[in-house]
Amino acid sequence: MSSQYPWPAMRGIAYGGDYTPEQWPRETWLEDVALMREAGVNLVSVGIFSWALLETSEGVFDFAWLDELLDLLHDHGIAVDLGTPTASPPAWFFAGHPDARVVTRDGTVMGFGARGMASHSSAAYRVAIVRIASALAERYAEHPAVVLWHVHNEYGVPVGEDYSDQSAAAFRTWLREKYATLDALNAAWGTTFWGQRYGEWDHVGVPAAAPSVVNPSQRLDFARFTDHQLRQCFIAERDAIRAHASQPITTNFMANQSWTTDMWAWAREVDIVSDDHYLWAADPEGEIGLAIAADLSRSVGGGKPWILMEHSTSAVNWQPRNIAKRPGEMARNSVTHLARGADAILFFQWRASRFGAEKFHSAMIPHAGTESRVWREVVALGAALDRLDEIRGSRVVADVAILWDFESFWAQDLEWRPSVDVSHAERIRAYYERLWRDGITVDFALPGQDLSAYKLVIAPAQYMLSAADAANLDRYVAGGGTLVVSFFSAIVDENDAVHPGGFVAPLRDTLGLVVEEFLPLREGSQCRLRWSHDGATATLAGDAWQEDLVLSGAEIVATYVDGPGAAKAAVTRHRRGDGAGWYVSTRLDAEGLGILMSAVYADAGVAPAGHPDGVEVVVRRGEHADYVVAINHGDDAATIAATGVELLSGQPVEGSIDVAGGGVAVIRTDEGGGR
């Protein structure tokens, strides 16, 4: 990612969504642009699924409709994020290249009639994506409407892994580059186990379904290979566009809703991070998952403003129960993304499709038309964002980081782990949620990056930890940092092999302990811990997991009362250099995490914000002022301390402001800025 932040050449906060006029007659286009102006829409994404309409047969292009569309949008002052349609190749492509179809792990060859790219390793697909991306870029590089390029759609879904013959050949090439010799591959994969030793490169294959559990090191490398191949497809298109066009180029990520791509690596390849986020309807506090996605999007981009490329005005159509958003919820969601660093609020999609698989998905113009709650809220949100223009470019600053490492998640998710109850997503959410409730803003970070700016670093799930990354965490603590490590971390190296010296050995000096044995609990069984720290005592509850710890310097903060670890250490703190390493060997419940984290905050010098329950407050720091963004998820009005001007109402704020139940407020404060 370039250091100069190449925000699209347009005013203010971007507002709009995916636009699919190819599904509608011309008279609707005219109505659309008029309604876009009414709603304050200033950016739409077009062409994302239009390959069959733009290239009607191999090498035969029809740009007439897109010419007309871009001119129409430009004439109405609406900028364009121009998509490349490569997430959905046309029927003619698959008919001409049947071997480009994706093969699943169990050998099923994917058919046509849905969407989904071809094999990431198909030579024919690579040629075809470069041809269409080049043709689009050549034609529209200078079009005044185009301010941004949107390559593909959500790499990794619905097509990620491919077990086809061309993928197997490409996997071998990738492995030869990584390992150089078969001996090195055999050693890294531990192929002496179950007699898997390879004597010929040609015998190395993709980890297709097999009689039992396939070598986890091979599967981990296959996950890395898949991510790499998908990224090469992106890079091929990006470079084809860049040969003609100078606008910034992005591709829409899926933050915490897809695990197939390593967002940290992808963020280095795009000019601007963009993300799609959909609330998980079954989660009554979906706003917490939303905040995780937003913080992750900001973090992978190094803190720069990012684009919320898609979210929904109301219900989606692909969950078991698609819950409509309640009045005000769309605005709260949008302002939360903005608070956490987004400078663009876009939706899937502008106008609800009458036909096709997504006809029950909400849109900015629902099937009910403009005489609807959703439309009125869309218009109101456009007006609100217009008042928040000056926030653009300001930054979010966090004192606390949570480690988020996709490669570790890929490894942890493989089969035959000690307990199905151990989940990285669950633990990250649990710790994040505690900080969210305490009003503490969080960045996500990699274990190997410079962490010295953070007062507190939490590792809720760092199953895989290389020796180098462990040394980095140790330096962080010795230099004065406070580190919290949760159980089932620092277990394996980058090949999914257990560390010499046993579990947690690379962090032995940092934490003052190792783990002798895992003690997973039976389904549903709970355990109690006796907490005793800084003169305070309490009984805490955990479940799922205990460990048998061997201490080498750590002080005991909590002891197991019952369970297989009864009377042994459960939570510890170790002084290391100028800092401290905390270790938590069970799955504490929310209350227990509250007690733990209060002690950790005190140790790290981090202060909870003390906002009323259910009120989310995040500060964006501008050059001249701080912006306090408050989102009230509760039903009752809540009071927030601030002084300055509330930008949505234009009213002065003297000392405090009441934020209505379900409402939002954005205060430009008299303090801050320029730091």
**Minimal distance, residue 385 CB to ligand GAL, in Å:** 21
Contact 255, 311 (CB under 8 A): no
Q: Which is nearer to ligand GAL, 83 or 672 (CB)?
A: 83
Contact 259, 410 (CB under 8 A): yes
* Token output for 576: 């290391």
Q: Which of 179, 140, 155 is nearest to 61 (CA)?
A: 140
Q: Which is nearer to ligand GAL, 217 or 251 (CB)?
A: 251
Q: Which is nearer to ligand GAL, 87 or 604 (CB)?
A: 87
Place of tokens 């290249």: 97
Q: Which is nearer to ligand GAL, 83 or 460 (CB)?
A: 83
**Minimal distance, residue 99 CB to ligand GAL, in Å:** 27
Catalytic, 22? Answer: no
Catalytic pick among 154, 287, 377, 616? 154
**Minimal distance, residue 287 CB to ligand GAL, in Å:** 18
**266 to each of 251, 344, 649, how far by Cα in Å?**
9, 20, 39
Q: Which is nearer to ligand GAL, 209 or 357 (CB)?
A: 357
**95 to each of 40, 101, 117, how far by Cα in Å?**
43, 10, 14
**Minimal distance, residue 363 CB to ligand GAL, in Å:** 10
**Minimal distance, residue 366 CB to ligand GAL, in Å:** 14
Contact 132, 85 (CB under 8 A): yes
**Minimal distance, residue 669 CB to ligand GAL, in Å:** 36
The helix/strand count (H/E) of the chain reads as 17, 31
According to DSSP, the β-strands at 274-276 and 252-253 are parallel
* Token output for 521: 């609990």
Catalytic, 237? Answer: no
Amino acid identity, residue 556? I
Catalytic pick among 55, 161, 287, 310? 310
**Minimal distance, residue 258 CB to ligand GAL, in Å:** 9
Taking the CA atoms of residue 500, residue 506, residue 509 and residue 515 in that order, the dihedral angle to the nearest 10 degrees is -70
Amino acid identity, residue 152? H
* CA-angle at 430, arms to 429 and 434, nearest 5°: 110
Residue-by-residue DSSP string for 395-418: EE--SEEEE--HHHHHHHTSS--S
Q: Which is nearer to ligand GAL, 39 or 316 (CB)?
A: 316
Q: Which is nearer to ligand GAL, 257 or 419 (CB)?
A: 257
Q: Which of 414, 483, 392, 412 is nearest to 445 (CA)?
A: 483
Residues that bind ligand GAL (CB under 6 A): 153-154, 276, 278, 310, 316, 348, 358, 361
Contact 536, 577 (CB under 8 A): no
**Minimal distance, residue 517 CB to ligand GAL, in Å:** 42
- C-alpha–C-alpha distance, residues 531 and 387, integer Å: 50
For CA atoms 267, 269, 273, 278, the dihedral sign is negative
Within 408-535, strands assigned E span 442-445, 456-459, 482-486, 513-520, 526-533
Q: Which is nearer to ligand GAL, 289 or 581 (CB)?
A: 289
53 contact partners, CB below 8 Å, separation of at least 6: 22, 62, 65
Contact 323, 315 (CB under 8 A): yes
Catalytic site positions: 154, 310
